[in-house]
Amino acid sequence: MTILSAVPQRSKLPDVGTTIFSVIGQLSAQHKAINLSQGAPDFPCDRALIESVTRAMEQGHNQYAPMTGLLSLKEALADKVKTLYGQQYDTASEVLITASASQGLYAAIGGLVHSGDEVIFFEPAFDSYAPVVRLQGATPIGLKLHLPDFTIDWDEVQAAVTSRTRMIIINTPHNPSAQVLSREDLDQLAKILRNTDIVVLSDEVYEHILFDGRQHQGMATHAELAQRSVIVSSFGKTFHVTGWRVGYCLAPAELMTELVKVHQFMMYAADTPMQVAFSAYLRHPENYLELGGFYQHKRDLLASLLKASPFRLLPSAGSFFMLASYAEFSDLPDSEMVKKLIVENGVATIPLSAFYTDGTDNKLIRLSFAKDEATLRAGAQALCQVKPR
């Protein structure tokens, strides 16, 4: 029996309901579709990580961790960032372990953005940015990346900056376009932000997944930007354990103080056994430095298998996604195309329009290659059987 509320509600997000992601998930389950849609690995993580978490539990690491994270994990993280990117973060005041990168994003926006502020972000975009901004009483300003290369027009960014601009959200490597920022992009951003009070929120959860010899150009690689940036990243994405929900934030102490105020009332502390395991695992650089090659093999395998398909693949420079265009053989809206692929071909993908607040449709679908080889082969075979009409 359904319980009806006697209290009338006034929603903070009245236009947010069942997303296309939920629709795709339900339809995929109904048709037992091959999963090239979800941005999560379907293969096991390193057994050593599981054993490390198990040991941590057996050794009694089952109570609250320190609110900002285990010191051993923060030290390992700070050492990694210093070695790779050249920026030194103080473990006491500039490193925060969070219960997922998503929680880190919320803590950053919640702590630094005020009612009446404006926040610039770039579309297509991860779907949580705009709603979290709106929950603060602020206004998200979506600027569209320019096709076919999904580049940022920095003149447009400069024109969009107003006296109310509080934050610019960056995502590199980018989900869903699989493109990355260059050093020139960082210099352009720094130029725009000079002599302003604007902060950067940099979503870098795919920081170790870059291809073809590219180097990650995150905010910690740029001294000027590091001084005004909150960097958010994810242990789950890096180590194939997205269900463990542990991430982290890096920021100058003055900014981090505000994040911690929000974090302590959202979660207090991330899961202790996982932090113990990650602190040991991070001490072995091969556990993350080999990630680009690991996923590049999967990218290249899927691309080679799809050569016989009617889809045109766009370049993938980083992350574990690639985009495929069907504009040459169909006029269907992308949301309908993905449903058709599930029902008629038994393979699940994501429509790119789901990553635009206005539903922009460029006849592109997103494929995830964070899958085992059997899934990639089966998914590619299904897509190769699509008949242009």
Same domain, 300 and 361: yes
| 193 pLDDT more than 80 | yes
Number of H helices, E strands in the chain: 15, 13
**Residue 1: inside a domain:** no
Q: Kindly state the percentage of the chain with pLDDT values over 90.
A: 91
Residue 381 vs residue 42, higher pLDDT: 381
Please state, in angstroms and rounded to a whole number, the distance separating the CA atoms of residues 318 and 291.
11
331-363 pLDDT tens trace = 999 999 999 999 999 999 999 999 999 999 999
Whether residue 148 has a cis bond before it, omega within 30° of 0:
yes
Residue 221 DSSP label: G
Please state, in angstroms and rounded to a whole number, the distance separating the CA atoms of residues 83 and 261.
29
**Structural domain boundaries enclosing 342:** 20-38+290-384
Same domain, 228 and 318: no
The closest of 235, 216, 233, 209 to 290, measured between CA atoms, is: 209
The closest of 13, 48, 234 to 127, measured between CA atoms, is: 13
Same domain, 210 and 82: yes
Please state, in angstroms and rounded to a whole number, the distance separating the CA atoms of residues 337 and 323.
14
**Residue 240: inside a domain:** yes
Output the six-digit token pair for 365.
Answer: 């679908």
Q: ∠ at Cα 100 (59, 9), nearest 5°? A: 125
User: What's the pLDDT band for 163 if we cut at 50, 70, 90?
Assistant: very high
Q: Terminus-to-terminus CA distance in the chain, angstroms?
A: 47
Number of structural domains in the chain: 2
Same domain, 68 and 185: yes
The domain that holds 159 is classified in CATH as: 3.40.640.10
Rg of the chain, C-alpha, whole Å: 21
Output the six-digit token pair for 97.
Answer: 């372990």
Query: How many whole angstroms from its chain centre is CA 338?
Result: 21
Same domain, 141 and 227: yes
Instruction: Single out the residue in 271, 286, 301 at which a domain terminates.
Output: 286
Question: DSSP characters for 276-316?
Answer: HHHHHHTTSTHHHHTHHHHHHHHHHHHHHHTTTSS-EEPP-
Instruction: Single out the residue in 269, 286, 303 at which a domain terminates.
Output: 286
Average pLDDT over residues 70-99: 97
263-309 pLDDT tens trace = 999 999 999 999 999 999 999 999 999 999 999 999 999 999 999 99
Residue 18 is predicted with a pLDDT of 66
Please state, in angstroms and rounded to a whole number, the distance separating the CA atoms of residues 191 and 142.
20
CB atoms within 10 A of CB 257: 13
Residue in this structure with the two tokens 């979660």, named with its chain if needed: 267
Lowest mean pLDDT among 3-17, 102-116, 221-235, 249-263: 3-17
Whether residue 66 has a cis bond before it, omega within 30° of 0:
no
Same domain, 194 and 206: yes
**Residue 14: inside a domain:** no
Instruction: Single out the residue in 286, 310, 336 at which a domain terminates.
Output: 286
User: What's the pLDDT band for 182 if we cut at 50, 70, 90?
Assistant: very high
Please state, in angstroms and rounded to a whole number, the distance separating the CA atoms of residues 160 and 192.
11
Residue 2 is predicted with a pLDDT of 79
Same domain, 357 and 208: no
Element (H, E) at 200: strand 199-203
Please state, in angstroms and rounded to a whole number, the distance separating the CA atoms of residues 12 and 134.
8
Residue 23 is predicted with a pLDDT of 81
Same domain, 155 and 76: yes
Same domain, 326 and 255: no
Longest alpha-carbon distance in the chain:
61
Average pLDDT over residues 132-150: 97
**Residue 9: inside a domain:** no
The domain that holds 299 is classified in CATH as: 3.90.1150.10
Please state, in angstroms and rounded to a whole number, the distance separating the CA atoms of residues 302 and 298.
6
Please state, in angstroms and rounded to a whole number, the distance separating the CA atoms of residues 296 and 165.
37
**Residue 5: inside a domain:** no
Average pLDDT over residues 250-258: 98
Same domain, 319 and 275: no
Whether residue 333 has a cis bond before it, omega within 30° of 0:
no
Q: Which long-range CB contacts under 8 A does 283-292 form with residues at least 24 apart? A: 283/76, 285/80, 285/83, 287/46, 287/239, 288/80, 288/208, 288/238, 288/239, 289/208, 291/208, 291/209, 291/238, 292/208, 292/209, 292/210, 292/211
Map residue 139 onto helix, strand or coil: strand
| 315 pLDDT more than 70 | yes
Same domain, 151 and 229: yes
Whether residue 124 has a cis bond before it, omega within 30° of 0:
yes
Q: Cβ contacts of residue 364 below 8 Å, gap of 6+? A: 314, 323, 324, 325, 326, 327, 334, 351, 352
- Strands lying side by side in the sheet with 165-171: 95-98, 247-250, 229-234, 199-203, 165-171, 118-123, 139-144
Same domain, 294 and 282: no
